[in-house]
Amino acid sequence: MQSGTLLWKPPFIQISRPFALGVPLTDLVAEGLLHPRTPAVFHCDPDSPSSPPIHPYRHQSAAIRRILGDDSFPLSHPDGRGGQGVRAGANVVVSTGTGSGKSFCFGIPIVSECLGLRGQGVVGIKALIVYPMNALANSQYDDFARRLHGTGLRIALYTGDTPYAPAEALEQYRRATGRNLPYDSEILSRQEIQESPPDILMTNYVMLELLLTRFEDRRLFATPGVLRFLVLDEVHTYTGKRGADVAALIRRLKQHTSATGRLPGSCAGGRSILPRRAVRDSGGGQWRARLAGGGGPAEDDCAACP
């Protein structure tokens, strides 16, 4: 009592060093790595289309290059270019600190590829982002939906809370967001998702198993070669029994999409991404190979860390 520390402690102040900057998005576009419309999607202020594009951190630039298969520069390059001998399609683990923009590490290449495929007339789900819980999915969905407004790309959140009928989905949307109308990038109901699959689908691993089981949902991935990206957010949570279940689920997904080896296997330019919010572990290559269901440590030895 006399020292004054029984009921509360004095303030703890910690100064965090800023993350090192990487290659601007405009430079990645000039190199032909990103679609020309990609920088316009990733504004500093998602509510202001006139705001400048974000300047990626070094680990974000490195992750983008690795995911899109640029192995021209080592990870230790000062501007964050490239990845150590990484081939197009290699699994990638993103392991950085809180607030470092891990969602942009996979979001930027996904949007770039979706824009290009949409321009080629390819329809269907091109990216599948799986979360361990709905709270994480809800948070990232709202940000991506806002950014994709006006781009022509569509995104949907398919969980146990997603209503079937469009009218019911719109009413629930209005109560939850306070907006009368959704962004033009959003697909709100199960019926609309099944009739016109989005470019990007967000879900959780429990619902993904149902999507691969129920007849009315299995057709979401019925066209071979369309699915390009598989993202497992918070992948460090998939250990033990849950990890075994998800590993089996990934293999079922790859079988259902006619993929062999890496997702989507035989499709040219296919990628599989495993972003990770955790520290790097010494057995990462073997662990990723076991989880993803294709390739050994030599084929899955990629990581992007600041």
Q: Which domains does the chain have, with CATH numbers?
A: 97-296 (3.40.50.300)
pLDDT of residue 81: 44
Closest CA to 206 of 154, 175, 165, 245: 245
Tokens 């940000």, residue? 143
- What local confidence, expressed as pLDDT, does residue 236 receive? 79
The distance in angstroms from the start CA to the end CA of the chain is: 44
**pLDDT on residue 97:** 73
Q: What is the pLDDT of residue 74?
A: 46
pTM passes above 0.75:
yes
Residue 193 confidence (pLDDT) = 95
How distant, in Å, are the alpha carbons of 14, 64, 67, 165, 207 from that of 168? 47, 38, 38, 5, 20
CB atoms within 10 A of CB 269: 14
CB 155 within 8 A of CB 144: yes
Structure-derived torsion over alpha carbons of residues 250, 201, 188, 180, reported in degrees to the nearest 10: 140
pLDDT averaged per 10 residues, the chain (length 306):
68 82 94 93 87 92 84 46 44 77 91 92 91 86 93 94 94 92 94 94 92 88 84 83 87 79 36 39 56 50 42
Q: Which two tokens stand for residue 281?
A: 């572990």
Joined together, the tokens standing for residue 159 give 């969980």
Q: Give the whole-angstrom CA distance, residue 72 versus residue 74.
A: 7
